[in-house]
Structure 1
């Protein structure tokens, strides 16, 4: 890459204010709603790091202005310069047909190709360290200590069974911006016939095979609430990630089951009073587990 590689394809709206940054990605008005809740939640933790909103040109000026007014540093980011064949393989219909989602429902505004823009984080070389957090997440406790963690740190993709511990989830990760790394990523990403069934998540696990594991409570996936309630403890959860259905969707298929989590997200999004997280009730254990506990008592 050339000396100006950190400028190619991205446009910064303002200079940095810190040497560390939280980074999220916003690609449309729906994820702008998510980012509103995320930015408010980060500010509530008292962090002194920058909050960078990477956004594609598709995001309307109104949404950009609203996120900037909250305190976000806006960085406009183009789609990655990938081959036509790569783009065809990873278009929504093609990708979902070849690797369908069977555990949950991705909303209509989910566009797989946009996910790869997340890799432009490595162009933000004005920062020593970045923590990426998906726009469909909220941060409940300060996680600034992760800035000192090594690249590449991420939590496991646990939401159905303990067998998921071998896979990472790219909704929260620690990275060190570098144009050298970014260049290597582009070369690896668009290799002949390359197919990444879960887009950036599959790619990042392949690119960083020796990834450092974060505790699940640094990226607690919402399905744990009803699939693995024994793992849920509000006192430990630092980041709550609304994978699959989003909390701003109206009457989504799992809205009733996830009602307490949706209400919490809504409070952050609206700037309403936030309850004492540590005192929130944990989910009820499965009936069989509860019965076994009573028998063994």
Structure 2
């Protein structure tokens, strides 16, 4: 087993599917590092079976919730209360060096060189560059660091209610101590940069190695046409559309066939792949009211009703294979 690993976290089935796409992208760019995923009880048994096809190791951990969820409620992102669970990544002391990556990231060029960096190396956050973004970071597993982080969370909480605030409090000298701990933006490019600073994106975008689908709208909530390889509907700039379509192509090529082969489709209830035999203009895209959207985002599927395995299997058979 490699002494170095890429690590991610899935707290529900949707993020587990995102993690599979991430793992596929890492293998596609040629990494031979160990692929490790932390999961919680909210990931279904059927999806765990699929995860075994993409990750070298799966480890079940307890859910850690934010000590101050009111902050996240004010940000209208209550689902981030579970992100402190990623702190368990420091307990993986069987590895000498790890790179943690959120499940909503996609690798488009090899990034193995990041294992040469030291803890804690990360990209400045686009919203407040004196803080680092915790979607991608290099770290060294340590039981002591894990214990210290848990103690700080219990004692001081997190200034943003999630893992990023806590980690920036703990590694408080990141912005001033050593510039070598600052990673280039190409290792954690958020889609917002494609319109907030378009000239820079046009100049440096070809160098991007990791795309981070930061925010509440994830690729798996978009409707995709597998025939045209285009999103059916999308509000945003062409560059953001391009990257979401890259995610979907990885999903269609590498993840969906495994899910379909194992007859595991219930957890794809919030995803829509159009019939490849129909033109995109004739496709009816998936819609949902606000309450159901929020339920999907928090991993709360109606498995006994509209989102039952039988219903989703029937819908996917009709849309993917053109069955009536």
TM-score computed with the length of structure 2 as normaliser: 0.68
Return the structure number with greater helix share. Answer: 2
Pick aligned residue for 2:36 from 40, 49, 52: 52
- The 1:238/1:178 distance shift into structure 2, 3 A limit, reads same
Paired residue for 2:182?
A: 213
- The 1:198/1:254 distance shift into structure 2, 3 A limit, reads farther
Pick aligned residue for 2:205 from 225, 234, 250: 234
Query: For each residue in 1:81-140, what CA deviation from the matched residue of structure 2 results, as whole angstroms up to 9, or x when unmatched?
Result: x7xxx64x22xxx23344x25xxxx5xxx6223100101000000000000011001011
Pick aligned residue for 2:26 from 34, 37, 42: 42
TM-score computed with the length of structure 1 as normaliser: 0.74
Q: Which has the higher contact order (CA 8 A, sep 6+)?
A: 1
Query: For each residue in 1:211-240, what CA deviation from the matched residue of structure 2 results, as whole angstroms up to 9, or x when unmatched?
Result: 221011110001111111123233210100
Paired residue for 2:250?
A: 268
Q: CA deviation at 1:196?
A: 3.1
Gaps of 5+ in 2: 175-180, 224-230, 255-324
Q: Is the 8 A contact 1:40 1:271 kept in 2?
A: no
In 2, Cα distance between equivalents of 1:157 and 1:180: 26
Aligned to 1:235, the other structure's residue is in SS state helix
In 2, Cα distance between equivalents of 1:75 and 1:150: 25
Pair 1:201-2:164 in alignment: yes
Q: Is the 8 A contact 2:38 2:60 kept in 1?
A: yes
Aligned to 1:268, the other structure's residue is in SS state helix
- The 1:133/1:228 distance shift into structure 2, 3 A limit, reads same
Paired residue for 1:114?
A: 82
Paired residue for 2:219?
A: 247
In 2, Cα distance between equivalents of 1:254 and 1:173: 30
Q: Is the 8 A contact 2:186 2:207 kept in 1?
A: yes
In 1, Cα distance between equivalents of 2:99 and 2:6: 5
In 2, Cα distance between equivalents of 1:214 and 1:198: 24
Q: Is the 8 A contact 2:72 2:162 kept in 1?
A: no
RMSD of Structure 2 on Structure 1 (CA): 2.1
Gaps of 5+ in 1: 1-16, 273-297
